[in-house]
Amino acid sequence: MSVFIDNGTRLIIQGITGRDGSFHARQMMEYGTQVVGGVTPGKGGQRFDDTVPIFNTMAEAVRETGANTSVIYVPPPFAADAMLEAADSGVKLIVCITEGVPVLDMTLVYPFVREKGARLIGPNCPGLITPGQSKVGIIPGRICTPGNVGVVSRSGTLTYEIVYQLTRAGLGQSTCVGIGGDPINGTSFIDVLRAFEADPDTKAVALMGEIGGTDEQEAAEFVKEQMTKPVVGFIAGQTAPPGRRMGHAGAIISGSSGTAAEKIQSFKDAGMGVAQRPIDFVTLLQERM
Amino acid sequence: MNIHEYQAKEIFRAHGVPIPPGEVARTPEQAEEIAARYGKAVMVKAQVHAGGRGKAGGVKFCKTPAEAREKAAAILGMQIKGLTVEQVLVTEAADIASEAYVGIIVDRATKKPVFMVSAAGGIDIEEVAATTPEKILYVPVDVRYGLRSYQAMQMGFFLHEDVKRARAAARIMGQLYEAFMASGASLAEINPLVLTPEGELIAVDGKMVIDDNELDRRPEIEALRDDSSEEPSEVEARLANLTFIKLEGNVGCVVNGAGLAMATMDLVKYYGGEPANFLDIGGSSNPEKVVNALRIITSDPSVKAILFNIFGGITRTDDVANGIVTATKQNPLKVPIVIRLTGTNEEIAVKILEDNGFAAMTDMDAAVQKAVQLATTGGAR
């Protein structure tokens, strides 16, 4: 078991012939993900690396392959349309890796995807991986190992760092989900926590948050009210100055809200473990499992 | 991206929002000339990207052109939150019967643009939200339908009982929404929206923040950028496609990824040091980016040690190693450097570094501790 993806995931790659799309298509195929097709308008009928069929549209790709998931590597100006097209094609999981999607585009995409009954992860996220089964996105496969820790994070390389430290300490992962660092994203911490709570293979959860917004506080509330499994949290940006956007569009402290101190306090109030440093996840999780 | 009040007002005006006449002056004489032409009392307002201009003495009421010159002379060159005032807006002063607040933000919770309106205008809306939340009406807008008339009227009636005034206010809501959407804004604000004794509604102050991700497709908005109101090193970094924010400490940090960059800064602090900056070289780094990053960091005299923390995923660590070697050949380092890298092509990177006399580390905590210690004690490479 796992959450969102497993060896039944049948994946279409939107933007499979682009620079990032082609590189990561090969990485995912090497990892064992079932890549059943790609979409690049105008290249329909060709094959990617002589194996994967390319289609002009998502509708055609889904009809021909029975895909249930798509991953998006198209440039920011086209990302909103790619997400809408994926939702319209009937796939139930859409993962948007693209960084730099205008937030107003997301105000248009989000309600549409929801009404289609699909789950969107991202944008501006590293995707997800169920070690040993499937990876959708860009999380390096070799730093992960199968196990019982569910990982959910707003960041990319920070997630790799922590997963790498977990793996070195012998703590394998059920699924790692990067929800992305933008102000509006398709899947929240709570959505992933709910899935981990229901997943029999997940015994504990590692949650990596950042400054900005109130997602972490809401997640803490959820942990307190509805979770039986232990959760350990971390907040990046304790030294960030207010009013400055720290790289991620969502990572900005406005007024008194969204500070690291406020988020850490909400974790403590929820009875969660609080990692001061990335390495602290190891002992805090071991104590709780 | 922040834009100036006068720029926001020009956008609002282009969408029909009633704005009192105003022009920008860069000298006291220009301010006097503008005021003389208007022939009535004016406000002279500092144009800087900082809140609290009024409290800092950057906004003044002037009855005569001579007074406008005098006040402009005092405001021009003034420092507000570390920024030098280089221009002032000279605008006709309004008579005020009452003031309201109207703002739109992109709300993370509802995932929609949300209007916030309040009859308690002219003051800090965050304070109103904290102390008397019932005085604010929130109206989320589904962008697929746009702002509907009934929503605009609901806000109009929240501010004014009189139907004529409610309609006039509703019209301004619609115009502000158009300006917000057409500019790719993440915030648009009229504070205050003034009702004059004659019963006219006018926007006396305007503010807009643009989503940086919109700028590529809106060159006319990008053209409003004012480099002089940014830290010079941050401008240089932006032009080199790096995300850089200058801080007060002495450990210069070069990291890939925003989350890891923040976590690295936090770890510097944890081990007793102070980060000199936030610097994210991004995902698909090339050696050139590293060269630029090092140039920007080493030009800060307060940096006493440099820390690289690279987790190679998309980023190839050998690219980073090559960048370090190239940069330090061009400009030999005067401060010690600690390099931590792991991930994609790590073996190649370590060999490149060792062949050029650098040591590479793989453990993040050990690297941060070493950098903090070197920044504190100095010491040669």
Torsion of CA B267, B272, B274, B275, to 10 degrees: -20
- What is the Cβ-side half-sphere exposure of residue A224, based on CA atoms within 13 angstroms? 13
On the 0-12 / 13-18 / 19+ scale of CB atoms within 10 A, B264 is buried
Interacting residues of B194 by C-beta distance below 8 A, sequence separation 6+ = B94, B96, B97, B98, B99, B100, B121, B201, B202, B203, B204
B260, A276: Cβ pair inside 8 Å? Answer: no
Task: Indicate if the pLDDT at residue A253 is higher than 70.
Answer: no
Across the interface, of A20, A102, A248, the residue whose CB is closest to B211 is A102
Active site residue B274: no
Q: A124: closest CA among A109, A141, A152, A102?
A: A102
Q: β-strand A93-96 against A119-121: which pairing, if any?
A: parallel
With tokens 């000298």, the residue in question is B27
* CB contacts, 8 Å: A110 with chain B: 111
CA distances from A157 to A205, A216, B6, B258 (A): 18, 19, 40, 8
As a whole number of angstroms, the distance between CA B349 and CA A240 comes to 30
Q: Is the pLDDT of residue A278 over 50?
A: yes
pLDDT at residue B380 tops 50: no
Question: What integer pLDDT is reported at residue B174 of this predicted model?
Answer: 98
Among B residues 186-225, those touching chain A with beta carbons less than 8 Å apart = 186, 211-214, 216-217
Lookup: tokens for B215 = 């700028």
The minimum CA-CA distance between B197 and chain A, rounded to whole Å, is 34
Phi, psi of B299 (to 5 degrees): -80, -5
User: Within an 8 Å CB–CB cutoff, is residue B245 touching chain A?
Assistant: yes
Give me A262's structure tokens.
């406020």
Alpha-carbon span A123 to A125, nearest angstrom: 5
What pLDDT, on a 0 to 100 scale, did the predictor assign at position B122? Answer: 67
Instruction: Identify the band that residue B132 occupies on the pLDDT scale cut at 50, 70 and 90.
Output: confident
Coil/strand/helix, residue B43: strand
pLDDT in tens, A190-222: 999 999 999 999 999 999 999 988 899 999 999
Instruction: Say whether A111 and B142 touch across the interface (CB within 8 A).
Output: yes
Q: To the nearest 10°, the Cα dihedral for B57, B60, B64, B68?
A: 60
Q: Which residues pair with B342 in a beta bridge?
A: B311
Return the residue in B108, B308, B320 with the most chain A beta carbons within 10 A, the one to mutate for interface testing: B108
In the predicted structure, residue B220 carries a pLDDT above the cut 50: yes
DSSP for A91-121, please give it.
-SEEEE--S---HHHHHHHHHHHHHTT-EEE
Q: Taking a C-beta distance cutoff of 8 angstroms, is the pair B253, B268 a contact?
A: yes
Q: Which of B109, B263, B268 sits opposite A158 (nearest CB)?
A: B263
**Residue with the two structure tokens 């990485």:** A27
Query: Which residues in chain A have Cβ-Cβ distances shorter than 8 Å to B364?
Result: 161, 278-279
Q: Which residue has the tokens 């916030």?
A: B116
What mean pLDDT comes out for the span B27-33? 97
Nearby residues of B356 by Cβ (< 8 Å), 6 or more positions away: B325, B328
Q: Is the pLDDT of residue B18 over 80?
A: yes
Active-site residue identified among A248, A258, A264, A282: A248
pLDDT of residue A255: 57
Strand-pair partners of B44: B60, B90
B263 at the A interface (CB within 8 A)? yes
Average pLDDT over residues B143-166: 97
Q: How far apart are CA B312 and CA B291, in angstroms?
A: 17
B317 in contact with chain A, both atoms CB, cutoff 8 A: no
Q: What is the DSSP letter of B278?
A: E
DSSP state of B19: -
CB atoms within 10 A of CB A170: 10
Confidence band for B129, pLDDT divided at 50, 70 and 90? confident
Report the C-alpha gap between B263 and B274 in whole angstroms: 13
Chain B residues with CB under 8 Å of A169 CB are none
pLDDT of res. B198:
95
Is residue A233 within 8 A of residue A220, CB to CB? The reply is yes
Residue in A23, A31, A107, A234 to test binding to B, most B beta-carbons within 10 Å: A107
Quick: pLDDT tens for A26-81.
999 999 999 999 999 999 999 999 999 999 999 999 999 999 999 999 999 999 99
Cα dist from B222 to A245, B25, B215, whole Å: 18, 22, 6
Question: A56-65, A196-205, B124-133, B303-312: which has the minimum mean pLDDT?
Answer: B124-133
Is pLDDT of B59 > 60? yes
Looking at the complex, report in whole angstroms how far the Cα of residue B27 sits from the nearest Cα belonging to chain A.
30
pLDDT at B381: 41
Phi, psi of B155 (to 5 degrees): -70, -40
Please give the pLDDT value at position B379: 53
Contact A139, A178 (CB under 8 A): yes
B353, pLDDT greater than 50: yes
The backbone torsions φ and ψ at residue B11, rounded to the nearest 5 degrees and listed phi first, read: -65, -45
Amino acid letter for position B319: D
B284, pLDDT greater than 70: no
Cα separation, B107 vs B178, whole angstroms? 17
B109 in contact with chain A, both atoms CB, cutoff 8 A: yes
Higher pLDDT, B129 or A178: A178
* Matching residue, tokens 């090497």: A30
The 10s digit of each residue's pLDDT in A77-100 is 999 999 999 999 999 999 999 999
Query: In this model, does residue B215 exceed pLDDT 80?
Result: yes
Nearest-CA neighbor of A73 among A14, A123, A31, A130? Answer: A14
Least confident among A21-25, B80-84, B337-341: B80-84
CB atoms within 10 A of CB B57: 13
Q: What is the DSSP code string of B130-197?
A: HH-GGGEEEEE--TTT-S-HHHHHHHHHHH-SSHHHHHHHHHHHHHHHHHHHHHTEEEEEEEEEEEPT
* Measured distance between the N- and C-terminal CA atoms of chain A, rounded to whole angstroms: 18
What is the per-residue pLDDT for B227? 81
Q: Average pLDDT over chain A, rounded to whole? A: 94
Alpha-carbon distance A228 to A206, whole Å?
14
DSSP characters for B86-116? --EEEEEPPP-SEEEEEEEEEETTTTEEEEE
Chain A residues with CB-CB distance to B257 below 8 A: 155-158, 247
B147 close to B155: Cβ distance less than 8 angstroms = no
Residues A138, B260: C-beta atoms closer than 8 Å: no
